[in-house]
Structure 1
Amino acid sequence: MTVKNELIKSILASIWFMFLTFPIMVIKVNTVTDTVEWRWYNMAVVGIGSFFISMLWRYLIRKKEEGSKKEKKDTVGPVQRILQDKKYFLPGIGAALLFTIFFPHIFSMYQTNIMISALIYVMLGLGLNIVIGLAGLLDLGYVAFFAVGAYSYALLNLHYGVTFWIALPLGGLIAAFFGIILGYPVLRLRGDYLAIVTLGFGEIIRLVLENWNEFSFGPSGIANIPKPGFFGFELSLQATTTFTFYIIVLLVLFTIFVINRLQNSRIGRAWSALKDDEVACQAMGIDKAKTKLRAFALGATWAGMGGVVFAAKTTFINPASFTIWESVIILCTVVLGGMGSIAGVMCGALLLILLPEYLRDFGEFRMITFGTVLVLMMVFRPGGIIENVRNTYKFEKSSQS
């Protein structure tokens, strides 16, 4: 009966889908000859295709439900098990480091530039992971801090001749200051209300940069931003790209180290408590206001430094580079990779940035593929590519003889 019901549901779904697509897929009006062409072959293809897709979808959903009903004795997944096993983890880290070191020398400058962009988004994703993954604060205006870092370097260099290496920490500090400014008004907000306010903050920053011509040069943007220098030596374009690649790699490693230490510190535990239950967190004596402000400030710091590297890489910035779409992509890297998981966020960022780039040959179908991947991941892997597993501590009785 179950199979029969599934077949009936799939047949009804295919009929309904054929009915919905009938005007588009079957009817074709030729305006030159004033005739109507009936493409019944397309209708058959739509019906058969939707039937089999519906059957496959129902099968996968049923398997997922059966798997969720079973009691999971081991909460650690296969990917987490590999990451925790030193026999596989250490050689994997060594191979990844060797591949990273030789990447600019193996691949072309175009591929290196793409990887630099991907690593910038890895850094941004890890910064947003502090706010969303660890503290549970939904921030939809994260791109504003990215813009603050980029414009900090561009304007400081334009007016005061500040170099990249001085602007890098300054961009992080200025973005952290703006993170605190955002944090104060939203201390009492949570959930959808917090998301709406942060979204508005991001749009305010973009509109200010676009309309304040005397300050930010408006839509024209700022050009001729210097690339990172190496002790005053003149570097070729290839050498500068390779140097920028190694800079962003070191920054990503530094970000991973700091966030990993924060995650396992008292601040990280406070963020986890805040994410689980704000009322209980406050009842345990944790200062909710300071905990939120730390999350916003530290998350914004990495966005600011990422913005400085972005400005140095592109040598030109304007407000069009910091739209809400960028915030959505950064948010997707965190959700798709796994909220709270450092390895997951890295995988999510690399997938979301590299996949559309390498699917350019498919034209308009690349965004459909991109959306399909997101939908499938959210349905079948809601915890992300690599789910975050909290450390557990077991106290065992010592046997006394």
Structure 2
Amino acid sequence: MSGTTFKSQAPRRTGPVAAWVSGLFESKYLGWIALAAALLAPLLTASPYSLNVMTTAAIFVMLAAGLNIVVGYCGLLDLGYIAFMAVGAYTAGIFAKAFELPLIFTIPAVLVMTILAGLIIGAPTLRLRSDYLAIVTLGFGEITRITANNLTITGGPSGIFGIPKLLAFGDFSLHSPAVFYYVTILIVAFFVLASARLGKSRLGRAWRFVREDEDAAEAMGIHTYKVKLMAYIFGAIWGGFAGVLFASHLSAISPKSFVFLQSALVLMAVVLGGMGNMRGVVVGALVITLLPELLRDLSEYRYLAFGLLLVVAMVFRPKGLWPAPGHEEERGNRNEPPQTAVDAAVARGESR
């Protein structure tokens, strides 16, 4: 037996407040608590501006949830994700204006068009990996914006104005900012929950296997191309439906709403929150959208402060504010020396 000594780490002591907070964050009821807080928020601040900011933040959460499927679960770097939002928004706007329908009746067309968009960009390019895939998706995002900027049916540079609300039947419509906010929260909550469920499903486990080691996944019999294409299609659907909410919220869309910066911000939310962890992604999306508003008193320096805070967050939390399970353990064990075969046997309680 080797003379290796083993050091046992003392359990980390936490105070009652820290333990309570930690338990709350890991609680299975956290999602319901967050939903209740979102539904009660207008009671605290019901100004039109506050409702507009909170509605925009909710739509951004839905975008981040969709990109998390592509980047966080499956590990496909997408730099043009905002294109799917553009496809959904323009499809809804064009059909609603042409047939004078509420946006809710355009959902079947949006679903078909976003799936087609996912297939068009995904089918020929998902055999690429890493930087090559990122460059292609960046090009797809710019091509979508430029196409919308030059077509008559999309309104060209001016875009589409006077888009009907999501629901409008006779005298009833969602013109009230508070009512539309509540509808948006419920829709976004459904898609966030669906995204979390997908991550825990058999398909979600296949996505994670592909993310960690695509070659090993293929060797284990996983059809990696098909699995990646499914991630892209689901991500496209999430982005398209976020586009419908966006078009209904603003009642107007234009190519300027779908620039590369928006794709970068959505990706930043996923990375900042914690790739692969739906709770972290929601936190990251809220930070990206709400923090600049909280810093508004700094005037022209608010984006400087915003950028500095993001840099500090990534320095001290490189895996994200709320990393996926396993990342914390990985970071905690990074400085420990590797075990030898004998050490591992002793740790398992085996005898020679």
TM-score, normalised via structure 1 length: 0.73
- Once the two structures are superposed, residues 248-280 of structure 1 have per-residue CA deviations (whole angstroms, 9 ceiling, x without a partner) of 111121112211221111100110010001100
- Give runs of aligned pairs for residues 207-246 of structure 1, distance below 5 A: 207-212=146-151, 214-235=152-173, 237=175, 240-246=176-182
The RMSD of aligned alpha carbons is 2.4
Shift of 1:186: 1.3
**Alpha-carbon distance, 1:99 to partner:** 3.0
Extract unaligned runs of 5+ from structure 1: 1-69, 393-401
Match of 2:313 among 374, 377, 380: 377
1:2-401 maps to which residues of 2 (within 5 A)? 81-85=23-27, 90=29, 95-107=33-45, 108-212=47-151, 214-235=152-173, 237=175, 240-389=176-325
Query: What's the secondary structure of 2:153's corresponding residue?
Result: helix
The 8 Å contact of residues 39 and 185 in structure 2, kept in 1 or not, is answered as no
Letter in 2 for 1:298: F
- 1:97, 1:361 → 2: CA distance? 28
CA shift digits 1:115-156 (9 cap, x unpaired): 000000000000000000000000000000010011011101
| Matched-pair contact (CA < 8 Å) for 1:172–1:300 | no
SS of residue paired to 2:252 = coil
> Using the alignment, how far apart are the partners of 2:263 and 2:82 within structure 1?
5
| Whole-angstrom distance in 1 between the partners of 2:134 and 2:145 | 17
Structure 1 contact 80–386 (Cα < 8 Å) conserved = no
In structure 2, what residue type is equivalent to 1:205?
Answer: T
When residues 236 and 181 of structure 1 are mapped into structure 2, their CA distance, relative to the original with a 3 A threshold, is closer
In the aligned structure 2, how far is the partner of 1:182 from the partner of 1:236? 34
Residue 351 of structure 1, CA deviation: 0.8
Larger Rg: 1
In structure 2, the CA distance between the partners of 1:230 and 1:219, relative to structure 1 (3 Å rule), is closer
Does the 8 Å CA contact 2:69/2:231 hold for their aligned counterparts?
yes
Kept in 1, the 8 Å contact 2:165–2:174? The answer is no
Q: Which residue of 2 aligns with 1:8?
A: none
Q: Per the alignment, do residues 149 and 140 of structure 1 end up closer, same or farther by CA in structure 2, a change over 3 Å counting? A: same
For residues 259 and 71 of structure 1, the distance between their equivalents in structure 2, rounded to whole angstroms, comes to 37
How many positions carry a matched residue from both structures?
Answer: 314
Query: Alignment identity in percent?
Result: 43
CA distance in 1, matches of 2:263, 2:31: 30
CA deviations on 1:270-306 (whole Å, 9 max, x unpaired) are 1001000110011111111110110000011011000
Partners of 1:376 and 1:125 in 2: CA distance: 21
Which structure has the higher relative contact order (CA within 8 Å, separation 6+)?
2
Give the whole-Å Cα distance in 2 for the aligned partners of 1:103 and 1:111: 10
Map Cα deviations across residues 80-126 of structure 1 (whole Å, 9 max, x no partner): 653334xxx53x55554443223334321210110000000000000
Q: Partners in 2 of 1:80 and 1:205 — Cα distance?
A: 43
- Hey, what's the Cα distance between the residues in 1 that align with 2:323 and 2:169? 42
Quickly say closer, same or farther: Cα 1:122–1:94, change in 2 above 3 A: closer
> 8 Å contact 2:102–2:168 — kept in the other structure?
no
CA contact (8 A) 1:209 1:216 kept: yes
Per the alignment, residue 15 of structure 2 pairs with none
Letter in 2 for 1:157: A
Deviation at 1:235, TM superposition (A): 4.6
**Counterparts of 1:82 and 1:216 in 2: how far apart (Å)?**
47
CA distance, structure 2, for counterparts of residue 72 and residue 195 of structure 1: 44
- Is residue 338–residue 383 contact of structure 1 (8 Å, CA) maintained in 2? yes
Distance 2:59 2:10 in 1: 37
Contact 1:172–1:303 (Cα < 8 Å) also in 2 = no
The residue type paired with residue 176 of structure 1 is I
Gaps spanning 5+ residues in structure 2: where? Answer: 1-7, 13-17, 330-352
Deviation (angstroms), 1:346: 0.6
